């Protein structure tokens, strides 16, 4: 098992394997997005109180889930890079940050657009909204810290520490609506109950799986690029470049 | 200890340290992180006196009285209730029985609101289902 991981995680091997795996994420992403959009915009009913504004939820909630999920991936990958010093783990952490930041931003913006007509305000400083904003700042801090060093190895060491410390914010975001009185509503989807109409739930699941696959596509593509830059002095990268020239 | 175990310990201490720091911080903040007070908390004197604070609860059924842009209604948590006076535009979700959060201050037992926000709950359903639920509830009460 260990040998297999090491072989897979070697930059050269990953570069070629990733290229083969990308379609396995890309096509499910396209299919899930199309079906998900149909379910979210046409099949699912309007809400009894919110009317059609409820449809904002089908982007907002999956984006918010992704913002947490990607942060955990980033911090764990950073931790693995820190302890076992696997190059690929550091690359996964580094390329995840902008994707996570984008999903966090999307969750905040769609939340504001929904909040204005429903709550009566774009923004309030309640526990859920504030902790999600801190998550965006964590992503931005991680990215700037990474760019502050010339040597990617030193950069990863510093930024991984930041990512791991920032991990405490994740349960705070998740439980903020239970621990404190907040304007934001509690979770509709728990382990034991779903307080949502079945067609709404299906639309939500389809889009959130679409987002997961999109993350897969983006991370594989970006990791390949990042590996080329980081390993630019190695023989296999030179071979890749030569190959590319011949193909053009 | 090998170098790798050393690094593992470092990461573990990092996580433990962060958790400890945040726990202490949240403990120290206490109820300051609550976004609003419930009517019972206000009745118990937990809310700041003479200063602006947020009050959250349900709009009592049958209590909404409108006069031009001025609205009068009760906010309740089924134990205590306060009369709210507000002038301005109410959010879409404002209705009787709905959870709301309002900012303002208590003056002679009346809460003079400067802002009224509607709180949404975690239930999402189509109008037909809501109607059916309402009917089922009514037939049970009969």
- DSSP string covering A12-73, please? HHHHHHHHHHHHHHHHHHHHHHHHHHHIIIIISPPBTTTBGGGGGHHHHHHHHHHHHHHHHH
Tokens (6 digits) for A233: 């002095």
Of B15, B94, B116, the CB nearest to A167: B15
Distance from CA of A126 to the nearest CA of B (A): 6
Contact flag B123-A195 (C-beta cutoff 8 Å) = yes
> Do the beta carbons of residue B81 and residue B74 sit within 8 Å?
yes
Chain B neighbors of A114, CB-CB under 8 A? none
Question: Could you read off the pLDDT tens digit of each residue along chain A, which spans 248 residues?
Answer: 677 777 777 888 899 999 999 999 999 999 999 999 999 999 999 888 888 889 999 999 999 999 999 999 999 999 999 998 888 999 999 999 999 999 999 999 999 999 988 888 999 988 899 999 999 999 999 999 999 998 988 999 999 999 999 999 999 999 988 888 788 988 888 777 788 888 999 999 999 999 999 999 999 999 999 999 998 888 888 888 888 766 65
A47 interface with B at CB cutoff 8 Å: yes
B40 interface with A at CB cutoff 8 Å: no
- What average pLDDT does the segment B100-117 reach? 89
| pLDDT score recorded for residue B25 | 84
Distance from CA of B102 to the nearest CA of A (A): 10
Tokens (6 digits) for A29: 């992403």
| pLDDT score recorded for residue A247 | 61
Helices A87-118, A2-9: axis angle to 10 degrees equals: 80
A127 interface with B at CB cutoff 8 Å: yes
Chain A neighbors of B92, CB-CB under 8 A? 50, 53, 117-118, 120
Chain B neighbors of A185, CB-CB under 8 A? 119-122
- What average pLDDT does the segment B116-135 reach? 81
Instruction: Please state, in angstroms and rounded to a whole number, the distance separating the CA atoms of residues A115 and A124.
Output: 9
| Cα B21 → chain centroid | 27
B19 interface with A at CB cutoff 8 Å: yes
Task: Kindly report, residue by residue over B36-69, the tens digit of the pLDDT.
Answer: 888 988 888 888 877 888 898 899 988 888 888 8
* pTM recorded for the entire structure: 0.87
Task: Kindly report, residue by residue over A64-85, the tens digit of the pLDDT.
Answer: 999 999 999 999 999 999 998 8
Residue of B nearest to A204 (CA): B124
> Do the beta carbons of residue A204 and residue A57 sit within 8 Å?
yes
């Amino acid at each position: 098992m260990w040998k297999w991981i090491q072989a897979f995680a070697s930059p050269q091997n990953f570069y070629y394997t990733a290229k083969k795996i990308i379609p396995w994420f890309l096509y499910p992403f396209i299919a899930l997005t199309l079906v998900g959009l149909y379910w979210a915009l046409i099949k699912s009913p309007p809400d009894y109180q919110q009317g059609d504004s409820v449809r904002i939820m089908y982007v907002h909630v999956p984006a918010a889930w992704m913002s947490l999920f990607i942060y955990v991936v980033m911090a764990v990958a950073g931790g693995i890079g820190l302890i076992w010093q696997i190059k690929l783990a550091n690359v996964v952490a580094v390329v995840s940050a902008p994707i996570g930041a984008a999903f966090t931003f999307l969750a905040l913006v769609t939340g504001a657009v929904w909040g204005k007509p429903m709550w009566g305000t774009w923004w309030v400083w309640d526990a859920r909204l504030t902790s999600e904003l801190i998550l965006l700042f964590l992503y931005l801090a991680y990215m700037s810290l990474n760019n502050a060093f010339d040597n990617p190895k030193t950069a990863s060491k510093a930024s991984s520490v930041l990512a791991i410390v920032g991990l405490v914010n994740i349960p705070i975001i998740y439980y903020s609506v239970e621990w404190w009185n907040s304007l934001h509503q509690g979770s509709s989807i728990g382990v034991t109950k779903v307080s949502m109409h079945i067609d709404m739930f299906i639309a939500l699941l389809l889009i959130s799986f679409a987002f997961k696959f999109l993350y897969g596509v983006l991370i594989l593509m970006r990791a390949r690029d990042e590996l080329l830059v980081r390993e630019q002095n190695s023989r296999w990268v030179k071979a890749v470049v030569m190959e590319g020239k011949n193909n053009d | 200890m090998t170098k790798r175990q050393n690094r593992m310990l470092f990461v573990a201490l990092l996580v433990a340290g962060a958790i400890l720091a945040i726990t202490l911080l949240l403990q120290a903040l206490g109820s300051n992180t609550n976004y609003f007070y419930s009517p019972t908390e206000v009745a118990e004197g937990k809310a700041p006196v003479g200063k602006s604070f947020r009050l959250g609860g349900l709009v009592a059924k049958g209590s909404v009285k409108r006069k031009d842009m001025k609205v009068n209604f009760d906010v309740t948590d089924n134990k205590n209730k306060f009369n709210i006076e507000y002038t301005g535009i109410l959010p879409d979700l404002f209705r009787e029985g709905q959870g709301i959060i309002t900012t303002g201050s208590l003056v002679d037992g009346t809460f003079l609101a400067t802002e009224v926000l509607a709180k949404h709950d975690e239930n999402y359903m189509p109008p037909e289902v809501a109607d059916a639920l309402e009917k089922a509830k009514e037939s049970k009460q009969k």
